[in-house]
Chain A
Amino acid sequence: MTPARTWARLLFAQWRESRARIAVTVLALALGTAMASAIHLVNRSALDEFEQAARRLAGEADLVVRGSPPGFPEALFAGVARLDGVAIASPVLELTVDGLTVVGLDPFRAAGVQPALFGELAGNLRDFFEPDGIFLSAAAAGQRQLRTGDRMDVLAGTTTRQLRVLGLLDANAYPRPLGVMDIAAAQWQFDRLGLLTRIDVRLEEGASTATVRAAIEALLPAGVVVMTPAIDSQRVASATRAYRTNLGMLALVAVLTGAFLVLTAQALSVLRRRGSLALLRALGVTRRELGRLLVAEGVVVGAIGAAIGVGLGQVIAYWTLRALAGDLGAGQLAVPGGTLAAKPLTWLIFIVTGALVAGLAAWLPAREAAARPPALALKSGDVDAGPAAARPFRVAFALIAAGAGLAFMPSVYGLPLFGYASIAALLFGGVLLVPSVAQGLLRAAPATRAAPLSLAVAQLRGAPAQASLGLAAIIVSFSLMVAMAIMVHSFRESFIDWLDTVLPADMQLRLQQGGNTAALGEREQAVIARQDGVSRAEFRRVVPLLLRPEAAPVTLIAADIDAHTAAQRLAILHAAPLPAGGETAPPVWVSEAMTDLYGVQAGAPLALPLAGREAVFRVAGVYREYGRSGGAVVIPRATYVAATGDRAVNEASLWLARGADPAAVARDLRAALALGDALQLRTTTEVRERSLANFDRAFIVTYALEAIAVLIGLLGVGVTAAATAFARRAEFGMLRHVGLLRRELALMLAGEGLLMSAIGVVFALALGGVLSLVLVYVVNRQSFLWSIDLAIPRLQLALLALALICAAAITTVVSGRAALGGDAVRAVREDW
């Protein structure tokens, strides 16, 4: 047997001795891994599903021609289909009807592009041509409680149409609510005769994509683009951006909290065994051997913990998906209930990572333990000597400086990766500063006459490293929670201000379906304006406009606005002064996102494809817009009508006459317009409340998962407290001998817990405040493309901090007493 094996035996023999200790370490590791892997799995399965569904519908197209809703002339389809090099051109009309995505296609053409979809329809192909037929995904059918053969009413434009459910699509293939119809039926039923939104193109074998693409481009009117599906999937990415930001942040919370928990558990485990490790050294284990053994032990314990954690994470993820099915992250993404795929490779990666983190966590204290002269380590009272001596100021400050620097880097592929890196760096730097900060604060602690409390202070002053270690996980999770809370609060406050600006009137009128199909003509506009009780009406035409292939369509808002009223109707951030020579081009106002996505600046010209022709405008100002993340352009309605001839509108703000009853006005308007459910009339107060309710709902998940992170952080506190109390049994015994009452001992423990928690929480508050600056000004700005003003939820944070301090103190006392087991007296006689 090699010496290493012998030593390993000796080391692992200790495991039998202290099952509880190993169990606590493994538990901590498992929880950390569970948390990180659960978030990852939820994240992955939601995105996978989203992308898979998008890809399945996009199929195997080589090129995609795409225009903004309501669409482009269908003649383009024939033109594209006839081009040399085009094997298949598949016309598609996509629209949203009553919240249901309906895809109208020609199954014969689509067969070459979306064979999977086609295969599912094959059995029912003959029915497919029924002019009122629709195939529903199982999700859509379930949502509306429909079965094959049932009839369903949908709101098409301003009229209700009855469709027949011809069949259901494969539940696994199409987890989202979706309807598939024949293109002719869709055009007819939804008043889109002559229009398409997409043409999927497959090239002939050997045809050059660039050549065909150029040939197609030559056919396209302004506002219609041809792109490769690769770019198309970036649209998916931008559609899920807000969601991913949210989850990205949560994943960061999970990973960092988990990692610190692992680090804490490992480091403590090594620290507490200083004595027995020194014994090994004394017995002849070399420094290097001991280091290796400890790292090996860390890896083994880590692998076990991570394996348990991955299983646990799978369960948590499954449960989360179940519980949250329907809405995760700002309503951006529907999550299919319980369709979590088992991914052995992912499990393996998490287990290996967990093992490596645990090994690394063991390595630092192991190196230090191994380096310690055995004789010294064997002496009692040596538990805290090491780490306190090695206060890594330099590393901490380097990390903080790096974090500050990273915050000024631009986004990567539309994601604030450097922003996240900045947060991580600041967080690590901050945590490394905890022992020093704690010592500084404790030095300033006032002297107390009460012996238990002065003892508590003295204990903390003497052993800050161990106490800080226990606080690392909670500081990480709480400071991130604070940062997130500040960001959400800032967002909410800015959102409320914005709502007040954009909702000036008493009532808001809207046609359903975002103006894709429905519109109010001049007659209806006159009816509204002359309605009894309406003193003034401002109309808006809101239409999507595709400016660039890789981006989602921007929203064009033709409103009753001019250079003088702009400041009252829009939350203007920068206004461009009028050029010296007077107005050159008609003015438009753009949302902040336009400056990021299209590089539009105030005062610069902006070309917009209106009615198939490019028209040039002058950007008179940049305004804040929270309603449309893809960018919005506000244009005076007169200018819009002149360019397009489109006099219809789909939104209006109504000012009521003095004393008019909103309910009565709404009732009369509904009767006068006879648009049925298509007409949405709400008081401004109601719109405001609904908007805020939606806003709050979007962040519930965030808070829930962060709360879990904080609970796991508390567990870190508990682990440390238990470990420390166990190590200090003899000390407690001595104090009881000397005459410390039981309750004084508890008071001492509570004092220690309270003090340390207070320090940790206050530190986390400060750190979270710093991190929130990165979140608000970097992560938020780069991922949502809109700015928000910093606002701190003081009361909320104060209460949260107080609650956490108490929770941490209670955790300390409870775990400490549990570890004590009441038998301190005997411990005095133990000679360790």
Chain B
Amino acid sequence: MHGTRQRALLEVEGLSRRYREDRPPVLAGIDLSLAADEYLAIMGESGVGKSTLLNLIAGLDRPDAGTIRLDGVDITALDDEGATLLRRRQMGFVFQAFHVLPYLTVAQNVALPLDLLGVAAQERAARVAQMLEAVGLAGFAARHPRELSGGELQRVAIARSLVHRPRLVLADEPTGNLDPRTAAQVLALLREQIHANGGAGILITHSVTAARSADRTLALTAHGLVPLPATP
């Protein structure tokens, strides 16, 4: 746990999502509060709605009921463009399958969010270099993704998710495609970088080991989010 809890960055209240009328809702009455510098893990079995929750928080999907506030702004009230711009400025993403663009160099991939934000070239170069160094890929700037290993690709993805200093990083099973040793390194790096960034992070995983790398862990069950005691 980190110090005193200040005003929450993310506040989720009564969130419900149902895809089909004849089926029970995927999510029902979810509440969640996340501090501005908190790194939270959400665990759950396959199919309990982890990805749905993530999509809702990212503004890529709309809930049937409930609100999601990021820094006081209700994401659910935003249109697609508003949500997209919010993601662009305030969020970073890490995926299980890396999704590093094959036709861009490592540096270009990392620079992508800065490009979108229109950051000036000089500052962009500096921040990309700094970020690559931070994730241990200082010499990889000009390389192409096909020359990289899985662990290295995920490091690129982590760099990309944090290069524009987002308030919130969403990582969806970032180690699902990695061997345990690499996975441990990537998890450590992610945690370290999220904290270094000073923002918040949500790690979605079904792995207890992975969840342990976060500050706090919640389990997503049919009854909502249930706190799991943090293990020392």
Residue numbers of A with Cβ under 8 A of B are: 376, 379-385, 449, 451, 454-455, 458-459, 461-463, 730-731, 733-734, 736-742, 825, 828-832
Interfacial chain A residues near B102, Cβ < 8 Å: 380-384, 462-463
- Complex Cα gap A703–B160 (Å): 52
The 4 closest A-B pairs by CB, nearest first: A462-B103, A739-B88, A381-B102, A734-B99
B63 at interface by CB-CB < 8 Å: no
Instruction: State whether A828 touches B108 (Cβ < 8 A).
Output: no
**A380-B102, A451-B116 known; A736 and B60 CB under 8 Å?**
yes
**Which residue of the partner chain, among B85, B99, B103, B104, contacts A828 with CB atoms under 8 Å?**
B99
Interfacial chain B residues near A451, Cβ < 8 Å: 112, 115-116, 118
Which residue of A has the minimal Cβ distance to B146? A381
Instruction: State whether A738 touches B103 (Cβ < 8 A).
Output: no
- Complex Cα gap A825–B104 (Å): 21
B185 at interface by CB-CB < 8 Å: no
B182 at interface by CB-CB < 8 Å: no
Which residue of B has the minimal Cβ distance to A454? B115
Instruction: State whether B113 touches A462 (Cβ < 8 A).
Output: no
Interfacial chain A residues near B101, Cβ < 8 Å: 381, 458-459, 462, 731, 734
Which residue of A has the minimal Cβ distance to B86? A739
B33 at interface by CB-CB < 8 Å: no
Identify which of B21-29, B67-75, B90-98, B188-196 touches chain A.
Answer: B90-98
Instruction: State whether B104 touches A458 (Cβ < 8 A).
Output: yes
Interfacial chain B residues near A741, Cβ < 8 Å: 80-81, 84-85
Which residue of A has the minimal Cβ distance to B145? A381
Interfacial chain A residues near B115, Cβ < 8 Å: 451, 454-455
Which residue of A has the minimal Cβ distance to B157? A734
Which residue of B has the minimal Cβ distance to A737? B93
B221 at interface by CB-CB < 8 Å: no
Interfacial chain A residues near B80, Cβ < 8 Å: 741-742
Interfacial chain B residues near A379, Cβ < 8 Å: 146
Which residue of A has the minimal Cβ distance to B112? A738
B43 at interface by CB-CB < 8 Å: no
Instruction: State whether A738 touches B96 (Cβ < 8 A).
Output: no
Interfacial chain A residues near B88, Cβ < 8 Å: 738-740
Which of A376, A385, A828 neighbours the largest number of chain B CB atoms within 10 Å of its CB?
Answer: A828
* Docked complex: B137-172 residues within 8 A CB-CB of A: 145-146, 160, 172
Which residue of B has the minimal Cβ distance to A379? B146
B62 at interface by CB-CB < 8 Å: no
- Complex Cα gap A114–B91 (Å): 90
A-B contact pairs, 8 of them (CB 8 A): A379-B146, A380-B97, A451-B115, A454-B115, A730-B99, A731-B101, A738-B112, A739-B113
Instruction: State whether A730 touches B87 (Cβ < 8 A).
Output: no
A381-B146, A461-B103, A828-B95 given; 4 more Cβ-contact pairs under 8 Å: A383-B102, A384-B102, A736-B60, A740-B116
Interfacial chain A residues near B87, Cβ < 8 Å: 737-739
B18 at interface by CB-CB < 8 Å: no
- Complex Cα gap A829–B91 (Å): 18
Instruction: State whether B97 touches A458 (Cβ < 8 A).
Output: no
- Complex Cα gap A382–B93 (Å): 22
Give the total of B residues in contact with A, Cβ under 8 Å: 36
**Which residue of the partner chain, among B84, B100, B113, B118, contacts A381 with CB atoms under 8 Å?**
B100
Least Cβ distance of A733 to chain B in Å? Answer: 8
- Complex Cα gap A831–B84 (Å): 24
**A382-B146, A385-B146, A454-B115 known; A739 and B84 CB under 8 Å?**
yes
Interfacial chain A residues near B58, Cβ < 8 Å: 737
Chain A interface secondary structure, helix, strand, loop or mixed? helix
B130 at interface by CB-CB < 8 Å: no
Which residue of B has the minimal Cβ distance to A824? B60
Which residue of A has the minimal Cβ distance to B85? A739
Instruction: State whether A738 touches B146 (Cβ < 8 A).
Output: no
Instruction: State whether B84 touches A740 (Cβ < 8 A).
Output: yes
Least Cβ distance of A377 to chain B in Å? Answer: 11
B51 at interface by CB-CB < 8 Å: yes
- Complex Cα gap A449–B121 (Å): 9
Interfacial chain B residues near A385, Cβ < 8 Å: 146
Instruction: State whether A736 touches B84 (Cβ < 8 A).
Output: yes
* Docked complex: B22-57 residues within 8 A CB-CB of A: 51, 55
- Complex Cα gap A734–B146 (Å): 18
B207 at interface by CB-CB < 8 Å: no
* Docked complex: B107-134 residues within 8 A CB-CB of A: 108, 112-113, 115-116, 118
- Complex Cα gap A451–B87 (Å): 16
B89 at interface by CB-CB < 8 Å: yes
- Complex Cα gap A454–B88 (Å): 17
**A382-B102, A461-B103, A741-B84 known; A831 and B108 CB under 8 Å?**
no
Instruction: State whether B85 touches A463 (Cβ < 8 A).
Output: no
- Complex Cα gap A451–B98 (Å): 21
Least Cβ distance of A212 to chain B in Å? Answer: 78
Instruction: State whether B108 touches A458 (Cβ < 8 A).
Output: yes
Which residue of B has the minimal Cβ distance to A457? B103
Which residue of B has the minimal Cβ distance to A825? B60
Instruction: State whether B103 touches A463 (Cβ < 8 A).
Output: yes
Least Cβ distance of A234 to chain B in Å? Answer: 58
B197 at interface by CB-CB < 8 Å: no
- Complex Cα gap A831–B116 (Å): 26
Interfacial chain A residues near B108, Cβ < 8 Å: 458
Interfacial chain A residues near B55, Cβ < 8 Å: 825
Instruction: State whether B103 touches A459 (Cβ < 8 A).
Output: yes
Instruction: State whether B98 touches A380 (Cβ < 8 A).
Output: yes
**Which residue of the partner chain, among B61, B89, B145, contacts A739 with CB atoms under 8 Å?**
B89
Which residue of B has the minimal Cβ distance to A743? B81
Instruction: State whether A738 touches B60 (Cβ < 8 A).
Output: no
Interfacial chain B residues near A463, Cβ < 8 Å: 102-103
- Complex Cα gap A736–B59 (Å): 11
Instruction: State whether B116 touches A832 (Cβ < 8 A).
Output: no
- Complex Cα gap A455–B176 (Å): 28
Instruction: State whether B95 touches A734 (Cβ < 8 A).
Output: yes
**Which residue of the partner chain, among B61, B91, B97, B118, contacts A831 with CB atoms under 8 Å?**
B97
Interfacial chain B residues near A825, Cβ < 8 Å: 55, 60-61
Least Cβ distance of B203 to chain A in Å? Answer: 16
Interfacial chain B residues near A733, Cβ < 8 Å: 99
- Complex Cα gap A463–B101 (Å): 11
Least Cβ distance of B103 to chain A in Å? Answer: 2
Interfacial chain B residues near A830, Cβ < 8 Å: 97
Interfacial chain B residues near A458, Cβ < 8 Å: 101, 103-104, 108
* Docked complex: B167-183 residues within 8 A CB-CB of A: 172, 176-177
Which of B91, B100, B102 neighbours the largest number of chain A CB atoms within 10 Å of its CB?
Answer: B102
Which residue of A has the minimal Cβ distance to B97? A831
Interfacial chain A residues near B91, Cβ < 8 Å: 739
Least Cβ distance of B177 to chain A in Å? Answer: 7
- Complex Cα gap A463–B84 (Å): 27
Least Cβ distance of B44 to chain A in Å? Answer: 15
**A384-B102, A462-B104, A825-B55 known; A738 and B172 CB under 8 Å?**
no
Instruction: State whether A737 touches B81 (Cβ < 8 A).
Output: no
Least Cβ distance of B94 to chain A in Å? Answer: 10
Which residue of A has the minimal Cβ distance to B88? A739
Interfacial chain B residues near A454, Cβ < 8 Å: 115
Interfacial chain B residues near A383, Cβ < 8 Å: 102
- Complex Cα gap A379–B55 (Å): 26
- Complex Cα gap A384–B93 (Å): 25
Instruction: State whether A737 touches B146 (Cβ < 8 A).
Output: no
- Complex Cα gap A382–B153 (Å): 14
- Complex Cα gap A546–B98 (Å): 81
- Complex Cα gap A458–B109 (Å): 11
Least Cβ distance of A438 to chain B in Å? Answer: 13
Which residue of B has the minimal Cβ distance to A733? B99
- Complex Cα gap A449–B124 (Å): 12
- Complex Cα gap A734–B97 (Å): 10
Least Cβ distance of B114 to chain A in Å? Answer: 9
Which residue of A has the minimal Cβ distance to B91? A739
* Binary CB contact string for chain B from 6 to 25 against chain A (1 if under 8 A, 0 otherwise): 00000000000000000000
